[in-house]
Amino acid sequence: NAGVTQTPKFRILKIGQSMTLQCTQDMNHNYMYWYRQDPGMGLKLIYYSVGAGITDKGEVPNGYNVSRSTTEDFPLRLELAAPSQTSVYFCASRQGGTGELFFGEGSRLTVL
């Protein structure tokens, strides 16, 4: 069972570069989320989606963009990377009507 798959697992970016973190799920979940996790800070919601074509901002959306063209995929775009975006990024999905989030294994991003 693949579940939620994130790529890449690790990436080093230079300041000002852009990149896309990929997330795909094979559970046919409508709801998908992007979180960032900084040491000692817990998980902060960046963006979420309630279905294909529908996205909304979370707590910390600045510097990021998302799109949701299919149920399976929810990529996160970083434009003009900054050192403050150094973090571990987690993608998650859930079935409607339940509170259980299924997380990917994370993407570790360093901006130098």
Partner 1 sequence: QKEVEQDPGPLSVPEGAIVSLNCTYSNSAFQYFMWYRQYSRKGPELLMYTYSSGNKEDGRFTAQVDKSSKYISLFIRDSQPSDSATYLCATNYNFNKFYFGSGTKLNVKP
Residue 58 or residue 75: which is nearer to partner 1 going by CB? 58
Q: How far is the CB of 46 from partner 1 (least distance, A)?
A: 12
What are the distances in angstroms from CA 110 to CA 14, 31, 48, 62? Answer: 8, 27, 23, 17
Please identify, among the stretches 19-27, 35-43, 65-73, 74-82, the one whose residues bind partner 1 according to the rule CB under 8 A: 35-43
Beta bridge partners of 47: 34, 57
Residue 100 lies near partner 1 (rule: CB under 8 A): yes
CA angle 25, 31, 37 (to 5 degrees): 80
Residue 47 lies near partner 1 (rule: CB under 8 A): no
- The Cα 99–Cα 40 span in angstroms is 24
Looking only at residues 58 through 87 of this chain, which bind partner 1 when binding is defined by CB under 8 A?
A: 58
E strands in 14-53: 19-25, 31-37, 43-51
Residue 26 lies near partner 1 (rule: CB under 8 A): no
Binding site for partner 1 (CB under 8 A): 4, 31, 33, 35, 40-43, 45, 48, 50, 56, 58, 90, 92, 94, 96-101, 103-106
